[in-house]
Structure 1
C-alpha cells in the first residue's frame, strides 16, 4: 500500500481560493439590481434579505457562488431582481466588509444600515445589557 504523501485533494492542487487577497474593482448596482443585507440563512442555497428599497425578499444563491462564496447574516449583497416575482431575487455578488464601507461612503447604502456586525449583535446604546447578572448580599447567601 502506498502512503499518502500529499496535503489534500484535487482542490488544493488547483489553487482553490487563491485570488481572495487581491483588490477587486467595486461593483455598483445597475437597473434590475438592488443592494440588500442578509437577515438569515435558510439553507438549500437560499437566504432571506432586507433590500435597501424596504422590501424583504427570499434570495437564491446562484450556482457560481454556491459553496465557493460563503454568505452569513449581516453581509451586504447585490441582488438581481426578477420581473415576474417581486418577493424573490437572485444573489449576484457578495461585498467584502471594506467594499461595503466604501459603498456607504459613496452614498450607495443608507446611513442607518449597520455594517461589520451580525444582525444579532449588541447595539452601542445597549451598553447596560451586559449587566444582566444578579448580585447577592452576604445575608442572602446565608439564607440559601
Structure 2
C-alpha cells in the first residue's frame, strides 16, 4: 500500500470472500469476537503469522474471511490502523 504522507491512501479492500468487521471482545487463545458488516457475530481466529507482529484490540476494524463450512467462525486477514479505519468511515465503506 502506498502512503504519500498526505491525503488519501490506497487501502486494502475486501476480496470476494472477505468482509469488514469490528473486534468486539477478546476471548484469549488467539481468538476474538467480531461483528461483521453483514450483521453476523463471528468468532475469529488470529492466524500465527499475525500473532506476534500485529496487535489486535477491541474496537479495531479488521478484514475477516468467514469459513465456508462453519459460518459462525472466521479468520482475520488484515487489521486497519486507526487512521485507515477513519478513512474507510469517511468514504462510506463501514459505519
TM-score by length of 2: 0.87
1:46 corresponds in structure 2 to 31
Alpha-carbon distance between aligned partners in 2 of 1:98 and 1:92, rounded to the nearest angstrom: 18
Structure 1 gap segments, 5+ residues each:
1-21, 111-144
Structure 1 runs (4+) deviating above 2 angstroms are 22-25
Structure 2 gap segments, 5+ residues each:
4-8
Quick one: which of 72, 75, 90 aligns to 1:90? 75
CA RMSD of aligned residues (A): 1.5
Alpha-carbon distance between aligned partners in 2 of 1:42 and 1:75, rounded to the nearest angstrom: 15
Q: Which structure's residues are more often strand, by fraction?
A: 2
TM-score by length of 1: 0.59
Q: Does 1:103 align with 2:85?
A: no
1:33 corresponds in structure 2 to 18
Quick one: which of 65, 78, 81 aligns to 1:80? 65
